[in-house]
Amino acid sequence: MKYWQPKYETMEHDELLELQLNRLKKTAAAVYNNVPFYREKFKALGITPDDIRSLDDIRKLPMTKKTDLRDNYPFGLFAVPKKDIVRIHASSGTSGKPTVVGYTANDIETWANMMARNFTMVGLDANDVFQNAVNYGLFTGGLGFHYGIEQLGAMAVPSGTGNTVRQIEMMQDFGVTAIHCTPSYGLYLAETVREMNVLDKLSLRVGCFGAEPWSSSTRKELEDAFNIKAYDSYGLSEMMGPGIAFECQEQDGLHIWSDHYLVEVLDEDGEQVAEGEKGELVLTSLTKEAFPVIRYRTGDITRLLKSECVCGRTSNRISRILGRADDMLIVRGINVFPSQIENVLVRIGKITDQFEIYLDRNKKKLDEITVRVELDEGAFTGEIQDLESTRRLVESELKSVLNIRANVELVEKGTIPRSTGKAKRVFDRREAI
């Protein structure tokens, strides 16, 4: 089977635009009627949903940012009563609280079909055995992929993360044909496969890699190491989760599903860039019920590709993600905002508010994050034990907010250079993958 939902995947251009306009009108009405945050914003701009008469009218609508989710934490932006929400997920917020997103039963169904679309697009079907080697739980990557695999009718192996040797044993024992993980974990898996010398015992054909940026040379490395085709999987929790854009077998940009999302690529002033130019991806959901989002600034830099794709799908494509518009860092696929770290540190006594973040890649090619913090004057009693307990306290506080382990290095007060301008606090020493 070539398409999962041929009607939408290959819809004629004009028909697709009409569908988008109808869905945009519905979404604008839903947020206006059900979400006070949006109603106030519309009112401040002097508009109502009736002002949307063409797709270009999207420009009249207000933008939404990650901080708006924080200000309405946890459920303030949901557009349906709580009883209609069947699941929530969360991702990193910009401060101490995570970003919470919600789904109705229909949303889960839409998402599963969107994933099944992606899987069909890369040549998978019910005969496949799909190992999902990402974090389950509050992050969207686990259950998002999982429901899609089941929707496709393939066999899901919900292996989660960690225990690499065991992961590779499962691949052999269960005849795994497709895998999903971050590209950096993929590289480490590949290295372990080489060390175990078991490549000829694997049946892998397809790898889906996402949650962090990666390059075409990493694609080649992964494809050679596993003897697979490697595909880029893009998404973000605010828009559902993974799978909102995905490469087809042409491996020439990611199809972004135009029946579910209205795509804009904007410059720093919020103006549309010329076709094919770099800009920030701004998305409006067109079918989400629980948590519709208008003009969400993803912070991801990409290009919009409007040329026709040989695969016959009519959606636009985006280039791989080329960078970030803000200071968000991605560590092992998990988003980290320097402001989250700052937020943790200011709450802890015995240390100053000065800090530096160092990012490195360890021997396993996995990201390591080290936060250097200054001890406050008089905080050191002379007991090494005290130092160690302060260090551990900072480590555990960071872990609980960031969801990943950060190494903490304590230094004497005054060690971290004060600057009058914008302090350079982040030192990313990782080689790009």
Rounded distance, CA 360 to CA 371, Å? 11
Judged by beta carbon distances under 5 to 8 A according to partner kind, the member of Zn ion, K ion, ligand ADP, none in contact with residue 248 is Zn ion
Cα 15 to Cα 118, 244, 321: the distances in Å are 22, 20, 28
Segment near K ion (CB under 5 A); pick from 112-120, 130-138, 285-293, 330-338: 330-338
**321 by DSSP, 3-state: which?**
coil
Residues in 238-257 at the binding interface with ligand ADP, rule: CB under 6 A? 241-242
Give the shortest CB-98-to-K ion separation in angstroms.
13
* CA nearest to 6, candidates 220, 259, 207: 259
Q: Does 329 bind K ion (CB under 5 A)?
A: no
Rounded distance, CA 94 to CA 162, Å? 27
Nearer to ligand ADP, 49 or 213 (CB): 213
Q: Does 142 bind ligand ADP (CB under 6 A)?
A: no
Rounded distance, CA 8 to CA 5, Å? 6
* CA nearest to 212, candidates 357, 42, 333, 88: 333
Q: What angle do CA 402, 404, 408 make, to 5 degrees?
A: 85
Give the shortest CB-335-to-K ion separation in angstroms.
5
Rounded distance, CA 86 to CA 346, Å? 36
Judged by beta carbon distances under 5 to 8 A according to partner kind, the member of K ion, Zn ion, ligand ADP, none in contact with residue 321 is ligand ADP
Residues in 263-302 at the binding interface with ligand ADP, rule: CB under 6 A? 298, 300
Nearer to ligand ADP, 221 or 232 (CB): 232
Report the 3 state secondary structure along 103-170. ECHHHHHHHHHHHHHHHHHCCCCCCCEEEECCCCCCCHHHHHHHHHHHHHCCEEECCCCCCHHHHHHH
Of residues 212, 264, 367, 397, which one binds ligand ADP by CB under 6 A?
A: 212
Q: Does 234 bind ligand ADP (CB under 6 A)?
A: yes
Segment near Zn ion (CB under 5 A); pick from 6-14, 52-60, 106-114, 313-321: 313-321
Residue pair 409/372 in contact by the 8 Å Cβ criterion: yes
Q: Does 329 bind ligand ADP (CB under 6 A)?
A: no
Q: Does 237 bind ligand ADP (CB under 6 A)?
A: yes
Residues in 25-84 at the binding interface with ligand ADP, rule: CB under 6 A? none
Nearer to Zn ion, 250 or 409 (CB): 250
DSSP state of 319: P
Of residues 134, 202, 228, 248, which one binds Zn ion by CB under 5 A?
A: 248
Judged by beta carbon distances under 5 to 8 A according to partner kind, the member of ligand ADP, K ion, Zn ion, none in contact with residue 16 is none
DSSP state of 16: H
Nearer to ligand ADP, 138 or 170 (CB): 138
Interaction mask 204-223, K ion, x per CB under 5 A: -------x------------
Q: What is the dihedral sign for C-alpha 63, 69, 72, 78? A: positive
Of residues 156, 273, 309, 359, which one binds Zn ion by CB under 5 A?
A: 309
Q: Give the footprint of K ion on this chain (CB under 5 A).
A: 211, 335
Q: Give the footprint of ligand ADP on this chain (CB under 6 A).
A: 91, 139-141, 210-213, 232-237, 241-242, 298, 300, 321, 330, 333, 335
